[in-house]
Amino acid sequence: MSDCLFCRIVSGEVAATAVHETGRTLAFRDIGPQAPTHVLVIPREHHPDVAALSDADPGLLAEVLGAAVAVARQEGLTGGYRLLTNTGEDAGQTVHHVHVHVLGGRRLGALG
C-alpha cells in the first residue's frame, strides 16, 4: 500500500526512529509523544485495523501484542504502561494501518 504512511515507514521511504524489530513487526517512536514513552507497534504487513488483523491473522495479532510487551520492558516501564489501539472513527483512528500505542513513563489519566 504505497499510499499508507506506516507501509512507507516499513519500506524505509519515510524515516522513523525504530526501537524494536522482529521478522513480522516494527516498533518506532510516535512523532507526537503523549507520554515520556510513546511507541507505536505495527505488523509489517498492511491491515487497516485490529479487527481486520484479528480476522486475517490472529497469530500476527499475538506477535504485535508480544512485541508491545517487549517494548515496554525494553523502555523500563516497571511502574506500568498502557497498550491502546484506536479502531474506527469514534475512537479517532487517524492512520489506517493497525498500530498499538505503548504509553508510559508517567501516571496516565483515565480513558474516555
Which residue numbers are catalytic?
99
- Within its chain, how far is the Cα of 40 from the centroid? 3
- Residues of span 54-93 touching Zn ion by CB under 5 A: none
Q: CB under 5 to 8 A by kind: which of ligand AMP, Zn ion, none does 92 bind?
A: ligand AMP
Please spell the DSSP secondary structure of 81-99, one letter per residue: EEEE---STTTT--SSS--
- Contacting residue, 7, 63, 93, 105, with ligand AMP by CB under 6 A: 93
Task: Report the alpha-carbon distance of residue 91 to residue 78 in Å, rounded.
Answer: 27
- By CB under 6 A, tell whether 16 contacts ligand AMP: yes
Cβ distance to Zn ion smaller for residue 67 or 72: 67
b/e sequence 37-66, b meaning 16+ C-beta within 10 Å: bbbbbbbbbbbbbbeebeeebeebbebbbe
- By CB under 6 A, tell whether 94 contacts ligand AMP: yes
Q: Which residues bind ligand AMP (CB under 6 A)?
A: 5, 14, 16, 30-32, 40, 86, 92-95
